[in-house]
Homo-oligomer: A and B are copies of this chain.
């Protein structure tokens, strides 16, 4: 993701200048920095934070480092774009958010779906009342291949890494907060090994503040590729965001009709990733608050952590108790 963001900053966002790239792997830093002629590559993120000519940072490190890097960057007075999730626990998230507020820097969380044309138009239509009162939301994210156990340990697992996109999308599309969370999950796909209770298949039910209901299903492996979609139903109708086909080619033969399926997340959201970064750069330059705030990052994290606990404890949990 970091490499893609570097490329976007250099090639697609003229208002941005890529000054430096830090990565624990020197070669990776070099590759990403290579997009911009003068960009520096380093394995020391601290050196970037110490550089007064750098105005903003983009954090695309493992999930378990997000909160710490946000906090350090804020302390150094840098504006921050950080991939989701904001943190893997609420204390770290709150510490980071406190520092952001204290230093009056901007923070945008990488919920790129909010910058996808389909989600945006759905949001606008819902906000304009096209659906009437909302009743039922159903969303899904299915990844093509499960991460390794090592990756799961750093990402926090399905609820904080994958489901968090859908949890944010429910909040974004509905404009509503959840009051109760229930989740049930299974481990059907992940390889043997590890006893941290990682799951790969899950259902999350949300009760929203108006009584509207939402359900999210997640799978860490889908044999047919990458699937993301969300339906929002209200008294006047339904909106459905989704994409199956990547290349607009249909094949007809004795077996029937075939088309391809989106293979991975950059095929679906490549442009949204560019747009979210462009928005961040524009906010930094024009001193506006990003549309996706640290509070949004925290709210989705709360739901993700509650879902994780609900699945473990086998009972629905009230949101109010946690926040």
Binding site for B on A (CB under 8 A): 11-12, 14, 35, 117-118, 121-122, 125, 130, 132-133, 135-136, 138, 140, 142, 180, 182, 184-189, 201-203, 205, 207, 211-213, 215, 217, 219, 221-224, 233-261, 314-316
| A188/B133 contact (C-beta < 8 A), A11-B11, A118-B248, A243-B248 known | yes
A122 neighbours in B (Cβ, 8 Å): 249
A316 neighbours in B (Cβ, 8 Å): 182, 184, 314-315
Task: A182 to B184: give the CA distance in the assembly, Å.
Answer: 9
A213 neighbours in B (Cβ, 8 Å): 184-186, 201-203, 217
Q: Is the CB of A189 within 8 A of B135?
A: yes
Q: Is the CB of A237 within 8 A of B254?
A: yes
Q: Is the CB of B182 within 8 A of A205?
A: yes
The residue on B at minimum CB distance from A138 is B217
| A203/B205 contact (C-beta < 8 A), A184-B316, A247-B121 known | yes
Task: A74 to B163: give the CA distance in the assembly, Å.
Answer: 51
Q: Is the CB of B247 within 8 A of A240?
A: no
Task: A117 to B223: give the CA distance in the assembly, Å.
Answer: 22
| A136/B201 contact (C-beta < 8 A), A215-B217, A257-B259, A261-B252 known | yes
A239 neighbours in B (Cβ, 8 Å): 249-252
| A252/B237 contact (C-beta < 8 A), A212-B186, A213-B184 known | yes
The residue on B at minimum CB distance from A219 is B136
Q: Is the CB of B211 within 8 A of A187?
A: yes
Q: Measured between C-beta atoms, what is the minimum distance from A296 to chain B in Å?
A: 22
A221 neighbours in B (Cβ, 8 Å): 235
- Determine which of B223, B238, B240, B242 lies in contact with A237 in the assembled complex, contact meaning CB atoms within 8 Å: B223
Task: A187 to B136: give the CA distance in the assembly, Å.
Answer: 11
The residue on B at minimum CB distance from A202 is B213
A202 neighbours in B (Cβ, 8 Å): 213
Q: Measured between C-beta atoms, what is the minimum distance from A135 to chain B in Å?
A: 5
Q: Measured between C-beta atoms, what is the minimum distance from A226 to chain B in Å?
A: 12
A132 neighbours in B (Cβ, 8 Å): 223
The residue on B at minimum CB distance from A214 is B203
The residue on B at minimum CB distance from A263 is B256
Task: A222 to B185: give the CA distance in the assembly, Å.
Answer: 29
Task: A259 to B118: give the CA distance in the assembly, Å.
Answer: 11
